[in-house]
Amino acid sequence: MKLTKIFIICLISTLFSCNRYQSEDLISDTDTLLVNNPKQAIAILDSLEQVSSLNEKERTHLVWNRALAYQTLGLSLAEDDQLMEAIIYYRTENEKQEDSYLLEASYLNWNGKEEDAVRAIDNGLAKISNSTKRVRLLVAKADILEHLSKYDQAASALKEAFTYGMSKRESAILSYKLGVNLSLQGDRHSEYYYDKGIRLAAENGDTAIACEIMRNYADYLANNGQYSRSNDMFYQIGQMMPQVAKLSAIQMSMAGNYINLHRLDSARICNGKAVKSEEELKAHGFADIARRAVIEQEKFLLDYTSGKPVSYVEFARYCDSITADMQAKENTSTRRQESRNRLQAVNYELKLDQQRMRYMLLVVVLLLIGGSVGGYLYYRNRIQRLAEAEDRVDTLTRMLEEAQASITEDSPLHNQANKEDDSFFKKILLQQLGIIRLVASTPTNQNQALLKRISGISGGEIPTNSLLVWSDLYIVIDRLYDNFYTRLIDHSGNALTEKEVQICCLLCAGFSTKEISVITQQSDATIYVRKTAIRKKIGAAEGQDIVSCVNDVKD
């Protein structure tokens, strides 16, 4: 029975926890994907089922990893209501303390609480001493301050970050960021940091970073009237990455510089390249109305200076096409969202159906197990009861045969003096039970009534207390066994119960434990327990014969 309970518990635990263990492993697998492949990490986390079955630690791990992946991709964290709980949970871990402040700042920033985001980073800076982690916090703080147009404070944060050691790549990026914030303040020191960023990126082999810095540097120079230097910078980009130099953004900037330098022929060449590039970008889905507006503006100016007619029709049509495309994309996005919502609803229903099927399967399995166990126990108990009943019937039958063997047909009591006292007492007891009377009055070929009578007594259907007259039996015990009953009462007084006195008398008459259990309608185990209690009450040693102990008592 114990093994059955253990099996049921294990089965239930397996059915309910297999999905949870699989989910836990998948969450742990995303730990290594957060930096290099955050999109895959998000896909894995979004595919998890039975999230509600996860414990608090596992749910917090899931929320944390999803937030880190979103942050890496620059996606919004504003909708994640559970993120703050995960941040508080992981803030006590040294390895994740820095990320906790960055995620808090990002969460607050996405919710339009930029000032609170800055304070969150300041709290992190006050508690974190690791130089690498402090640099990340300072850069994040500078980005938020730049968004708030607090360029002087952003520059101060970046300058503080320079006081810590970092790689050339990191130093190049920070120099570029510092140059941008200084240039937005009109500070000429920005040129130094632009040049430094370009140099460090080139030394480190980061051509893409170097070109990005050079492009922004060229725009800064153009805004400050240094058109020739600006175009020189664009030519350097063309030498480093020719494919980049052909893009419309660079060609239109160069065209603008040539217009300001009054080199209109060169401006027309660059403007033509810009138009061609923008058409190619549009064909690949990368059209930008701001770039196209600047390119058209430059084209109008060049046409006007050359005496050509100026027309806004083409650009207006372009704007209309962009508007139509935006509306179509919005409608498509809406339809996709509706389809996504419908799919999510269907998926949710499927998950519910799966859950119901699991529960139904569990119930069916439990019913099968319960039915099997119940049937087995019922069958075992039935077999055991039948075996015990047969054993009791055999015991009574044997007692009957022994009693009948000591009785002659002519006079049951005439030769009793030559018989054993035990057999005689059994005869007397069986007479009171009515078994001998039944045998005497029942023909040999009709012993079914006898067997039924014996079965009724052995099975407890006929209570022996209503058949046996123990007051008469005690007299027989005293006559046959040297006043055993009287000496037992004198020795024990009122210590023994009536049942215990009866057991002592039956033991004296030579009844076995099995026979006593049948006569008194008690189990063998109960008889053993009562015999132990009797020994204690009469002062007998453990295991000592009860009859011998009573017989040894001297008057």
Tell me if residue 381 falls in helix, strand or coil. Answer: helix
What pLDDT does residue 92 have? 80
Report how far Cα 542 is from the mean position of its chain's Cα atoms. Answer: 57
pTM higher than 0.75, yes or no? no
Instruction: Give the confidence band of 352 by pLDDT, cuts at 50, 70, 90.
Output: confident
* Measured distance CA(217)–CA(230) in Å, rounded: 8
Instruction: Give the confidence band of 200 by pLDDT, cuts at 50, 70, 90.
Output: very high
For residue range 237-295, what is the model confidence (pLDDT) as tens digits? 989 998 888 899 999 999 999 999 999 999 999 999 999 998 898 888 887 888 888 88
Instruction: Give the confidence band of 408 by pLDDT, cuts at 50, 70, 90.
Output: very low
Whether 380 shows a pLDDT value over 50: the answer reads yes
Contact 170, 197 (CB under 8 A): no
What pLDDT does residue 256 have? 93
For the record, the structure tokens of 12 come out as 């239930």
For residue range 388-406, what is the model confidence (pLDDT) as tens digits? 666 667 777 777 776 666 5
**Least confident among 14-23, 40-49, 148-157, 240-249:** 14-23
Average pLDDT, the chain: 81
The residue among 189, 114, 108 whose CA lies nearest residue 145 is: 114
Distances from the Cα of 258 to the Cα of 271, 276, 302, 495, angstroms:
10, 18, 11, 127
What pLDDT does residue 197 have? 92
Whether 441 shows a pLDDT value over 80: the answer reads no
What pLDDT does residue 415 have? 42
Q: How many CB atoms lie within 10 A of CB 535?
A: 17
For the record, the structure tokens of 230 come out as 């600006």
For residue range 295-307, what is the model confidence (pLDDT) as tens digits? 888 888 888 888 8
Whether 21 shows a pLDDT value over 80: the answer reads no
Mean pLDDT across 78-93: 83
**Least confident among 142-151, 242-251, 452-461:** 452-461
What pLDDT does residue 444 have? 55
What pLDDT does residue 420 have? 60
What pLDDT does residue 413 have? 40
Whether 155 shows a pLDDT value over 60: the answer reads yes
Location of structure tokens 């044997």? 398
Whether 457 shows a pLDDT value over 70: the answer reads no
Contact 39, 401 (CB under 8 A): no
Mean pLDDT across 446-454: 59
Element (H, E) at 516: helix 513-520
Q: Determine phi and psi for 225, rounding to 5 degrees.
A: 80, 5
For residue range 484-541, what is the model confidence (pLDDT) as tens digits? 888 888 888 888 999 999 899 988 888 888 888 888 888 888 989 999 999 998 888 8
What pLDDT does residue 414 have? 39
